[in-house]
């Protein structure tokens, strides 16, 4: 790759990706918190029971169809037609569903992904300004995404996602277009993968008479597959523009036997545990348990199917 008279090798491109992540971290420290708050929590829950069991430390892994959420560059690794569905058993009657599919294109053309998320709460008790009961209502957020990922060369991958975010509470609703950008760099000889992702790029949106922004987030990730190839370790470092906090996510996956994987992690707030069952190379069932203290415990189940492409 050339910029002007300068030539960038693989390491130079990686350096640019990392600098592109670190610079916004510094800039975000000066963001005026009064300029608007964040909405679009539907974008922050995390998807895929496997990724969530690994403490949501997945941007440096991103090797299944949930990569459309975590790091669109990762779908370039997928070689078969893949479908994924996740059901989230949330507390207080909250429903959270995710579905995705990734289709590899012809050689060196990359892969495309389609995904959707729904976050819904039914029968919310309505009250007027005096606290008197009114009719119940629902809140529903949804996201529709189109992703593309491609191998830049044998080590470097890049990807992008365009998403339509729809928000609705009772009779108030709005929608907005946002974008994700991501990169992955593999050191195959060492079993290490580095990643950088920017999520929810977009302008502010007006919702219920307020100008608010989507949760613009920057992430760096690294994963390490031990030489035995039955242990996978992962670390994510994330920074949302709306907060001064830096979030650390840790995850691990251990292939006990070919059909059984044990997982654990820390998502920045709680420890997570989960298991995965694999039936040949066509079906995977993943489960994760995540405690939320006094709010209650949550469980997520994902089903992944794969079909060989010609």
CA-to-CA distance for 216 and 203, rounded, in angstroms? 10
Quick one: DSSP state of residue 37?
-
Per-residue model confidence as pLDDT tens digits over 215-252: 899 999 999 998 777 999 999 999 988 788 899 999 99
Task: Identify the pLDDT of residue 13.
Answer: 43
What's the whole-number average pLDDT of the chain?
A: 82
CA-to-CA distance for 236 and 56, rounded, in angstroms? 8
Task: Identify the pLDDT of residue 21.
Answer: 43
CATH class of the domain comprising 2-124+132-307? mainly beta
Sequence spans of domains, the chain: 2-124+132-307
CA distances to 104, 134, 194, 217, 248 from 21, rounded to whole Å, are: 28, 47, 13, 10, 15
What are the percentages of helix, strand and coil residues in the chain, rounded to 5? 15, 55, 30
Q: Is the per-residue pLDDT at 68 higher than 90?
A: yes
What do you get for the CA distance between the two ends of the chain, in Å? 32
Burial 276-294 (b: 16+ CB within 10 A, else e): bebeeeeebebbbbbeeee
Model confidence at 137, in pLDDT bands (50, 70, 90)? low
Per-residue model confidence as pLDDT tens digits over 168-206: 877 777 888 999 999 999 998 899 999 999 999 987 777
Task: Identify the pLDDT of residue 15.
Answer: 42
Task: Identify the pLDDT of residue 249.
Answer: 96
Total residues belonging to the chain = 310
Give the best-scoring range by mean pLDDT among 42-51, 68-77, 205-214, 280-289: 68-77
Residues 6 or more apart whose CB falls under 8 angstroms from that of 80 comprise 104, 281, 306, 307, 308, 309
Of 10-14, 121-125, 296-300, least confident by mean pLDDT is 10-14
Mean pLDDT for 159-164 is: 96
Q: Is the per-residue pLDDT at 300 higher than 60?
A: yes
Of 7-11, 22-26, 100-104, least confident by mean pLDDT is 22-26
Per-residue model confidence as pLDDT tens digits over 257-267: 889 999 999 98
Q: Is the per-residue pLDDT at 18 higher than 50?
A: no
CA-to-CA distance for 177 and 203, rounded, in angstroms? 9
CA-to-CA distance for 79 and 62, rounded, in angstroms? 13
Question: Do the Cβ atoms of 255 and 277 come closer than 8 Å?
Answer: no
Task: Identify the pLDDT of residue 127.
Answer: 62
Residues 255, 257, 261, 265, CA torsion sign: negative
**pTM score of the predicted model:** 0.81
Task: Identify the pLDDT of residue 124.
Answer: 63
């Amino acid at each position: 790759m050339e910029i002007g008279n300068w030539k960038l090798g693989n390491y130079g491109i990686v350096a640019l990706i990392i600098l592109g992540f670190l610079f916004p971290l510094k800039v975000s420290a000066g963001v005026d918190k009064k300029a608007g708050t964040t909405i679009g929590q539907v974008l922050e829950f995390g998807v895929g029971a496997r990724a969530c069991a690994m403490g949501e430390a997945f941007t440096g892994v991103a090797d299944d169809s949930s990569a459309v959420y975590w790091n669109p560059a990762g779908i370039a690794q997928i070689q078969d037609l893949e479908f994924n569905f996740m059901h989230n058993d949330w507390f207080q009657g909250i429903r959270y569903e995710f579905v995705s599919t990734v289709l590899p294109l012809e050689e060196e053309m990359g892969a495309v992904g389609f995904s959707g998320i729904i976050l819904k709460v039914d029968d919310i008790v309505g009250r007027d300004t005096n606290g008197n009961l009114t009719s119940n209502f629902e809140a529903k957020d949804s996201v529709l995404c189109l992703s593309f990922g491609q191998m830049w060369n044998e080590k470097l991958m890049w990807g992008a996602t365009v998403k339509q975010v729809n928000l609705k509470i009772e009779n108030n609703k709005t929608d907005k277009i946002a974008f994700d950008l991501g990169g992955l760099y593999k050191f195959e000889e060492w079993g290490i993968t580095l990643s950088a992702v920017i999520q929810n790029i977009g302008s502010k949106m007006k919702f219920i008479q307020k100008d608010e922004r989507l949760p613009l987030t920057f992430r760096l990730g690294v994963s390490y597959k031990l030489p035995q190839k039955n242990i996978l370790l992962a670390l994510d470092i994330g920074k949302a523009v709306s907060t001064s906090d830096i979030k650390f996510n840790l995850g691990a996956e251990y292939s006990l036997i070919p059909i059984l994987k044990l997982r654990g992690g820390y998502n920045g707030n709680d420890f997570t545990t989960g298991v995965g069952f694999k039936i040949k190379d066509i079906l995977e069932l993943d489960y994760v348990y995540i405690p939320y203290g006094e709010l209650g415990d949550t469980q997520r189940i994902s089903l992944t199917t794969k079909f060989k492409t010609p």
